[in-house]
Amino acid sequence: MTDPCQLFEEWFAEARASEINDPDAMTLATADAAGRPSARMVLLKGHGPGGFVFYTNEQSAKGEQLAENPRAALLFHWKSLRRQVRIEGVVERVGDEQSDAYFATRARDSQLGAWASDQSRPLDSRATFEDRFEQAKSQFEGKDVPRPPYWRGYRVIPERIEFWSDRPYRLHERRLFTRDGSGWTEGLLYP
């Protein structure tokens, strides 16, 4: 039996070697309490047997949707490899210590941008955002930029992981791993 976390690591390593841009880019799909879906691209910032981690503003549309409905789907599409990985599972918030540690590794302007942005909220003009960025720059001049209290990490804990490989004539290979207690069951799906 294959370990899907190990298989993901192998595929991800190949993607890092072959994808021109952002091999860590993944589609994050969420839904609100009424079931209205939404999808957007985010970057994978950590992964392992415990799940797949990304960071965002918890007051953004995705953060609000995850608060209402803590389930999500992820999709990696590596065109150069003709592969994709689909992940579905429950979502938990990453602890403050881990969120702080990751935030500290971000570029300073990205840190300042997190303070300046009311992510997903209406913006009257680009100039307003640029002014807010300059205000944040002044506020933290000569100091470390702390993580905003509304900015944090989320972990998708996989219940299902599908590995899709392109094959000629649409005779694709689909391997599905489903969480079974503390382990996994493996099967195939018709293309």
Residues contacting 57, CB < 8 A, separation 6+: 63, 114, 117, 119, 120, 148, 150, 151
Number of other CB atoms surrounding residue 26 within 10 Å: 22
Convert the chain into a string of H (helix), E (strand) and C (coil). CCCHHHHHHHHHHHHHHHCCCCCCEEEEEEECCCCCEEEEEEECCEEECCEEEEEEECCCHHHHHHHHCCEEEEEEEEHHHCEEEEEEEEEEECCHHHHHHHHHHCCHHHHHHHHHCCCCCCCCCHHHHHHHHHHHHHHCCCCCCCCCCCEEEEEEEEEEEEEEECCHHHCCEEEEEEEECCEEEEEEECC
The pair of structure tokens assigned to 30 is: 């969420």
**Active-site annotation holder among 71, 155, 170, 179:** 170
Catalytic residue flag (residue 170): yes
Residues recognised as catalytic: 170
